[in-house]
Amino acid sequence: MPVEGSCLDPAIPVLNKIRVTENIHIGRNVLPQLKAVLQNLAFSKVAVLVDENTLHHCYPQVKPYLPAHDIIQIQSGEAHKTLQTCEYIWQRMTELNLDRWSVLVNLGGGVIGDMGGFCAATFKRGLYFVQVPTTLLAQVDASVGGKTGIDFHGLKNHIGVYKEPKAVIIDPGFLSTLPQRQLKSGYAEIIKHWLIADAAAFEEQRHIGLFTEDWDALIRHSVGIKSAVVEADPLEGGYRKVLNFGHTVGHAVESYLMEQPGRELLHGEAIAVGMLCEAYLSVKKELLTRRELDQIETFLVSIYEKVKLTEEDIQSMAKLALQDKKNTHTTINCTLLQGIGKAVWDQPVTLAEIQEALRYYQLL
Amino acid sequence: MPVEGSCLDPAIPVLNKIRVTENIHIGRNVLPQLKAVLQNLAFSKVAVLVDENTLHHCYPQVKPYLPAHDIIQIQSGEAHKTLQTCEYIWQRMTELNLDRWSVLVNLGGGVIGDMGGFCAATFKRGLYFVQVPTTLLAQVDASVGGKTGIDFHGLKNHIGVYKEPKAVIIDPGFLSTLPQRQLKSGYAEIIKHWLIADAAAFEEQRHIGLFTEDWDALIRHSVGIKSAVVEADPLEGGYRKVLNFGHTVGHAVESYLMEQPGRELLHGEAIAVGMLCEAYLSVKKELLTRRELDQIETFLVSIYEKVKLTEEDIQSMAKLALQDKKNTHTTINCTLLQGIGKAVWDQPVTLAEIQEALRYYQLL
């Protein structure tokens, strides 16, 4: 797999070096570094945010490397990524007398990382936090890039701030306890990173098929792409928007189905739908060839089960896409592919086109 | 009044230039600048956050300089500086389809500015906001320095972030509709600025007595001190803590009495109590002379009505001071005066000493 990627138009900031930033530690034997990381912060107190799953499966592996600490436990699942849960976390932080020199260790998937990061960033105007992502999705996406937040009235990550964790500790060993469905969800973001920044890696991987056994290398490469993009544009002034490929439609699909009991999708599953729709739109805008779309389609369909959509679903999802954070005024701004391995952002798309793309997906 | 102040120990960052930063506009004829400020932001939409008082007294004066906009109205008063009100504001921002290029204009006192700033900083991970402070307190203190936040379970500004507004528009003309009690409250922060950074100004003003007619000059000088301190240390790593003089005890007094119907104090009234107590502690720690304490005492007592405290009040207030954001671990860290015109921070103080200081105040 190439470690250098340079498939972007010179007119936009060049991703000339795929590299993992210094505060991110990746590997099978990386948990002991937590001890040194915390010591370097000269912390006053440590609290660990967990849910019932990570308390059971992951906490025992992390505990040996933690100093004296308290535990804050919340319920797992996107449905709990709310202001109400934040209120509970802030309340517990208050009871534990955490101060500005305390550290919150977020041990879990994207929900724990995003919400724990937001609570840490806003408690007494900000205390330290360290991400220990335990799902593939959180390891290759949520834990990197400083986006924190919660859902609000059904809108994904509607309330939040940009704040970098003091460190990210990524142990692929956690993936061994992860259900297959969760692995596939995280894999969608890995595929996205190839599609937006590394055509060679996509070409190599689409022939290997579903999974690798070498998660370490896959994660390192994927985090490297995301780190490099974020470093070039931390606050999403422009270039960082390449990471939104698949997310305009994907978020709408995810938000809509979240409210439909029994139809909820995992984030990556929704992003897979979104990537197919937005690759379709890329062809429609003559940015991507039909042949490239076919490659993407074949690869994604081999991994992700088809989501059944009614015409009513499609109408509602398209409307939700209008509310997306990435939009200006009343245009829907989409990140599209200009060939595999290169993304262009702020591409105006109409409500009707979003519907058309979802209908294309429905007919796959 | 001296415009340059240099009364700080060279060992700590020198406040060698009292100056107002560029994004702050002060004067009787400054409201029209709002128009240009907004135009420069290339905004998508504008919303104005008001309460029933500022809607009635201030909005009519601002309206001519606003483009098409929506109004978000909340109830006035510190009791509404809560998560619940934030939820309402975020909901309204969502309904109004504000996006990342929208501007929230916070028209009001400290509550509107702090809470509106927090809501703007966290909505879709941050949109622009402009402060138009309408009370003396907000003009010389809250609107400058990038602190945003809300109260949480009775704890002052417990949840918040640092985020600078795009501009601050300070029109002393608003003060003409302000009750005397509110004016005095803001005046406490002006006095604090003299005490921590400008002995000459304090010396001059304490002979003039209560109020000046030249609010413009007073405000400009006071904002100049605060701007210079904040510029030297935006995130309160150290030096900025000089601004906390009076606030360790003051916040405890304010928080405690907020829960006692009929005994609530305005912020500056509580800070006046805090400054007296902390000036007393400064003498106790041999940082301030008894003569200097007398000067401060005479001046403050001539302006602020004595607050009656029982022994039970004192015990509870001292305990609350332990929960203050400024503390590390279990020490109470106080900013004290090392002579008039100079402050030193992170001075350890015990619970018993806080009680002693409050008893000194009680016996005045």
Q: Which chain A residues contact residue B327 at CB under 8 A? A: 99
The pLDDT of residue B289 is: 98
3-state secondary structure of B9: coil
Burial of A209 (0-12, 13-18, 19+ CB in 10 A): exposed
The answer to whether B84 contacts chain A (CB < 8 Å) is: no
CA torsion sign for B28, B33, B37, B43 is: positive
Q: Is B194 left (phi over 0), alpha (psi -120 to 50) or beta?
A: alpha
3-state secondary structure of A169: strand
Q: Per-residue pLDDT averaged across B4-19, rounded?
A: 49
Summarize chain A as % helix, strand, coil (round to 5): 50, 15, 35
3-state secondary structure A266-329: CHHHHHHHHHHHHHHHHHHCCCCCHHHHHHHHHHHHHHCCCCCCCHHHHHHHHHHHHCCCCCEC
Q: What is the DSSP letter of B288?
A: S
**Whole-Å CA distances, A86 to A89, A143, A199, A203, B307:** 5, 18, 40, 42, 36
- Indicate yes or no: CB of B159 within 8 angstroms of CB of A99: no
Looking only at Cα atoms, what is the longest distance across chain A? 59
Q: How far is A79 from B182, CA to CA, in rounded Å?
A: 44
Nearest-neighbour CA in chain B from A99: distance (Å): 6
Any alpha helices (H) in chain B, and if so which ranges?
33-40, 52-57, 59-62, 83-95, 110-122, 136-137, 180-197, 199-208, 215-232, 247-258, 267-284, 290-303, 311-322, 351-362
Q: Percentage of residues in chain B with pLDDT exceeding 70?
A: 92
What tokens does B135 get? 């009370």
Predicted confidence (pLDDT) per residue in B142-172, tens digit: 899 999 999 999 888 999 999 999 999 999 9
| Contact status, residue B249 vs residue B317, Cβ threshold 8 Å | yes
- Indicate yes or no: CB of A122 within 8 angstroms of CB of B160: yes
Predicted confidence (pLDDT) per residue in B228-272, tens digit: 999 888 888 899 999 999 999 999 999 899 889 999 999 999 999
Q: How far is A208 from A195, CA to CA, in rounded Å?
A: 16
Predicted confidence (pLDDT) per residue in B291-310, tens digit: 999 999 999 999 999 999 99
**What is the Cα A181 distance to its own chain's centre?**
16
Predicted confidence (pLDDT) per residue in B28-80, tens digit: 999 999 999 999 999 999 999 999 999 999 999 999 999 999 999 999 998 89
| Contact status, residue B287 vs residue B334, Cβ threshold 8 Å | no
Phi, psi of B291 (to 5 degrees): -65, -40
| Contact status, residue A262 vs residue A189, Cβ threshold 8 Å | no
ipTM: 0.88
Of the candidates A117, A217, A206, A137, which has an alpha carbon nearest to the alpha carbon of residue A178? A137
Summarize chain B as % helix, strand, coil (round to 5): 50, 15, 35
**Whole-Å CA distances, A49 to A108, A119, A263, B38, B41:** 8, 11, 28, 41, 39
The answer to whether B157 contacts chain A (CB < 8 Å) is: yes
Beta-sheet strands, E only, within A142-184: 150-152, 155-159, 167-170
| Contact status, residue B345 vs residue B335, Cβ threshold 8 Å | yes
- Indicate yes or no: CB of A159 within 8 angstroms of CB of B90: yes
CA angle B184, B132, B208 (to 5 degrees): 30
The pLDDT of residue B4 is: 34
- Indicate yes or no: CB of A152 within 8 angstroms of CB of B90: yes
The pLDDT of residue B11 is: 38
3-state secondary structure A90-110: HHHHHHCCCCCCCEEEEEECH
What tokens does B342 get? 């100079």
CB atoms within 10 A of CB B258: 17
Q: How many CA atoms lie within 13 A of B21 on its CB side?
A: 19
Q: Tell me which residues of chain A have a pLDDT lower than 70.
A: 1-16, 209-212, 324-330
Token pair 């006095």 in the structure block, residue: B191
Token pair 């104090």 in the structure block, residue: B265
Instruction: Say yes or no to pLDDT of B329 above 80.
Output: no
The pLDDT of residue B13 is: 47
| Contact status, residue A117 vs residue A165, Cβ threshold 8 Å | yes
What tokens does A194 get? 């190839």
Any alpha helices (H) in B135-179, and if so which ranges?
136-137
Class of domain A180-362: mainly alpha
- Indicate yes or no: CB of B125 within 8 angstroms of CB of A161: yes
Q: How far is B76 from B50, CA to CA, in rounded Å?
A: 8
What does the domain layout of chain A look like in residue ranges? 29-170, 180-362
For the domain covering A29-170, report its CATH number.
Answer: 3.40.50.1970
The pLDDT of residue A307 is: 97
Q: Which chain B residues contact residue A100 at CB under 8 A? A: 325, 328
Render the burial of A45-55: b for 16+ CB within 10 Å, e for the rest.
bbbbbbbebbb
Q: How far is A127 from A121, CA to CA, in rounded Å?
A: 6
Residue type, A202: F
Which neighbouring-strand residues pair with B48?
Answer: B71, B105
Q: Which chain B residues contact residue A157 at CB under 8 A? A: 125
Closest residue, chain A, to B322 (C-alpha): A97
Q: How far is B60 from B69, CA to CA, in rounded Å?
A: 13
The answer to whether B184 contacts chain A (CB < 8 Å) is: no
Q: Which chain B residues contact residue A85 at CB under 8 A? A: none
Q: Percentage of residues in chain B with pLDDT exceeding 90?
A: 79
Phi, psi of A129 (to 5 degrees): -145, 150
The answer to whether B88 contacts chain A (CB < 8 Å) is: no
Token pair 């509709």 in the structure block, residue: B177
- Indicate yes or no: CB of A125 within 8 angstroms of CB of B155: no
Q: Which of B44, B87, B152 has the CB atom closest to A83's CB atom?
A: B87
Predicted confidence (pLDDT) per residue in B81-119, tens digit: 999 999 999 999 999 999 989 999 999 999 999 999 999
The pLDDT of residue A78 is: 87
Q: Which chain B residues contact residue A152 at CB under 8 A? A: 90, 94
Q: Per-residue pLDDT averaged across B310-331, rounded?
A: 82
Residue type, B276: L
Nearest-neighbour CA in chain A from B201: distance (Å): 32
> CB within 8 A of B22, min separation 6: which ones?
none
Q: Which of B121, B125, B325 has the CB atom closest to A147's CB atom?
A: B125
Residue type, A73: Q
What tokens does B347 get? 């001075």
Q: What is the DSSP letter of A191?
A: H
The pLDDT of residue B324 is: 66
Which neighbouring-strand residues pair with A50?
Answer: A73
- Indicate yes or no: CB of B125 within 8 angstroms of CB of A160: yes
B37-42, long-range: CB within 8 Å, 24+ apart, which pairs?
A: B37/B130, B37/B166, B37/B167, B37/B169, B38/B66, B38/B67, B38/B103, B38/B105, B38/B130, B41/B101, B41/B103, B41/B128, B41/B166, B42/B101
